[in-house]
Amino acid sequence: MNRTLLAVLTAVGVVTASCQQPALAEGVMATPDAAVKATETPGKKVAVFAGGCFWGIEAVFSHMKGVTSVVSGYHGGAKKDASYDQVGGGDTGHAEAVRVTYDPAKVRYDQLLRVFFAVGANPTQLNYQGPDHGTQYRNALVPTDKEQARVAAGYLAQLKRLDLWKRPLVTAVEPYKAFYPAESYHQDFMANNPDHGYIRRWDAPKVEALRRMFPDLYKPAFTRN
């Protein structure tokens, strides 16, 4: 469903907003600690995640300790068509994604993965998340170095063995190509638009689930760019 349309439906009461009911993120899962821990060199690291609408994924990672920047954008296609209007057609090769900069001394890559699968995205949904459908909403991990690739493969294999969702996992590991930041109005979207209908219905519950399930990793302040 188009996000603007969903916001309108929420506003008129066709869709119940999350502030009117217990905050429950779609597809929340009690994911385990990673068996394969990240061993990362000192200094800030960058990782890319695609998990449906980038507003919610940005919001989740922006509330994690050790994360210093989260940028919404596009990954997988070419620069010439890295715009919201073009990506929304679903035929550019891009996915809505976020680029996360983090300090591995405070939060490891495997911990980011655990949170991503717990509250960020449902790994059983192929080319959609919640109300958003199309290849631009695919679920993907995009490691930016060999250590992240090793840990991502290990965690995906672990989750598949555990069969927590009782349905096949379709999350892909995609090679890093280039990341193109989205338009300025998409950045820090939840912080700037807390009462937006889509945010209230789909994304605020994800942040609440992060707070509830990962109190040691959660921070109340939103990391703004």
Q: Per-residue pLDDT averaged across 3-28, rounded?
A: 42
Is residue 7 in a domain?
Answer: no
pLDDT score of 20 more than 90: no
pTM of the model: 0.89
Query: Given this model, what pLDDT does residue 15 score?
Result: 34
pLDDT in tens, 213-225: 999 999 999 999 8
Is residue 23 in a domain?
Answer: no
Is residue 120 in a domain?
Answer: yes
pLDDT in tens, 126-174: 999 999 999 999 999 999 999 999 999 999 999 999 999 999 999 999 9
Query: Given this model, what pLDDT does residue 11 score?
Result: 40
Is residue 218 in a domain?
Answer: no
Per-residue confidence at 198, pLDDT binned at 50, 70, 90?
Answer: very high
Is residue 156 in a domain?
Answer: yes
Is residue 220 in a domain?
Answer: no
Q: List Cβ neighbours of 85 (8 Å cut-off, separation of 6 or more).
A: none
User: Which CATH number is 67's domain given?
Assistant: 3.30.1060.10
- Interaxial angle between packed helices 54-62 and 204-213, expressed in degrees from 0 to 180 and rounded to the nearest 10: 30
Is residue 9 in a domain?
Answer: no
- Closest to 98 (Cα-Cα) out of 69, 127, 118: 69
pLDDT in tens, 25-41: 567 999 999 999 999 99
pLDDT in tens, 45-93: 999 999 999 999 999 999 999 999 999 999 999 999 999 999 999 999 9
Query: How many other C-beta atoms are found inside a 10 Å radius of the C-beta of residue 186?
Result: 18
Query: Given this model, what pLDDT does residue 88 score?
Result: 95
Q: Per-residue pLDDT averaged across 111-118, rounded?
A: 98
The tally of domains found in the chain comes to 1
- Closest to 171 (Cα-Cα) out of 143, 132, 138: 138
3-state DSSP assignment of residue 44: coil
Q: Is-catalytic flag, 19?
A: no
Bridge partners, 48 (sequence order): 99, 142
pLDDT score of 10 more than 60: no
Query: Given this model, what pLDDT does residue 25 score?
Result: 52
Is residue 203 in a domain?
Answer: no
Which of the residues 6, 25, 48, 53 is marked catalytic? 53
Query: Given this model, what pLDDT does residue 3 score?
Result: 54
Domain that holds residue 107: 29-192
Query: Given this model, what pLDDT does residue 12 score?
Result: 33
Work out whether the CA dihedral 193, 197, 198, 202 comes out positive or negative.
positive
Query: Given this model, what pLDDT does residue 103 score?
Result: 98
